[in-house]
Amino acid sequence: MTAVPMPSSVESPAFPAEGEDPSPEFLADLAQHSARLETATPQQILAWAAERYFPKLTMATAFGPEGCAILHMLGEINPQVHVFNLDTGYQFQETLDLRDKIAQRYGIHVEMKQPETTVAQYEAQHGGPIYKTNPDQCCKDRKIVVLRKAVIGFKAWMSAIRRDQSADRAIVPIVGWDKKFRLVKISPLANWTKNNVWKFLLDHDVPYNPLHDQGYPSIGCWPCTRAVGLNEDERAGRWSGFQKTECGLHTHDDK
């Protein structure tokens, strides 16, 4: 385990019971840890999270560059931490192939969590692919609902978001209460930039999605992802043509 040069609290306020709001003491404790971890490295944040919440700690990954960086770190800190992928049925084959590379390299088994319907069943139910007309509904059905079930029994989840990715993400704390999923949310890379992430991947020869070398800086499902031009924002290729910028996992509303 990576050394954690910061003490974690020995007695922490009780985790909110089902259906109850977190107590002010609980939220204050998270805020205190978050403030302290602002200057910590991602590895130190992960080590703190693993020490405090494992085995009730989980992480959702779509195998983006940030997720791959965290998986590399977890491989050194605690490869037993639960990791899952929201397998919508619409992912690129290149994304699915990364799962095997990660398993071979780090011994981390990424569990694939699927919706209750196959793509064929879902599209038959809706008279065709609704990502073309109502991507919010599609993301809700094939990601949010699946995530809600996947995190049952866990106390904390990790995200690979960076504050500089979007206005929505700019306010994410290192550690906070995720009201939407009723979990402690830990964002070890909140303070990292895109350059930090890519330097880390290249320095450590971390496996990453080959589509990144073909003009796709941000990769989601294939119908909702396109390559971007040199001067475009890194997330401009997601849900291109819609106002939508997030699948809803990292927003505060209930979309």
Q: In the complex, which residues of this chain contact ligand SF4 (CB under 6 A)?
A: 88, 90, 131, 135, 138-139, 142-143, 220-221, 223-224, 247
What is the CB-side half-sphere exposure of residue 15 using CA atoms within 13 A? Answer: 12
Choice among 68, 139, 224, 247 that is catalytic: 247
Q: Nearer to ligand SF4 by C-beta: 52 or 99? A: 99
Per this entry, what is the length of the chain?
Answer: 255
Q: What CA–CA distance (Å, rounded) separates 95 from 100?
A: 10
Q: How far is CA 122 from CA 96, 133, 138, in A?
A: 20, 14, 9
Which two structure tokens, joined as six digits, stand for 28?
A: 């204050």
Smallest distance from the beta carbon of 248 to ligand SF4, in angstroms?
A: 9
Q: What CA–CA distance (Å, rounded) separates 16 from 155?
A: 10
Q: What CA–CA distance (Å, rounded) separates 25 from 31?
A: 10
Q: Nearer to ligand SF4 by C-beta: 217 or 220? A: 220
Smallest distance from the beta carbon of 220 to ligand SF4, in angstroms?
A: 5
Report H helices in 10-141.
24-37, 42-53, 65-77, 93-106, 119-125, 135-139
Query: Nearest-CB residue to ligand SF4?
Result: 221
Smallest distance from the beta carbon of 129 to ligand SF4, in angstroms?
A: 8
Q: Nearer to ligand SF4 by C-beta: 33 or 180? A: 180
Is 138 annotated as catalytic?
Answer: no
Residue in the structure block whose two tokens are 């793509």? 119
Q: Which of 250, 216, 240, 184 is nearest to 92 (CA)?
A: 216
Smallest distance from the beta carbon of 187 to ligand SF4, in angstroms?
A: 21
Residue pair 164/170 in contact by the 8 Å Cβ criterion: yes
Pairing, β 175-178 against β 183-186: antiparallel
Q: What CA–CA distance (Å, rounded) separates 187 from 14?
A: 21
Q: Nearer to ligand SF4 by C-beta: 143 or 180? A: 143
Q: Nearer to ligand SF4 by C-beta: 50 or 147? A: 147
Smallest distance from the beta carbon of 222 to ligand SF4, in angstroms?
A: 8
Residues serving a catalytic function are 247
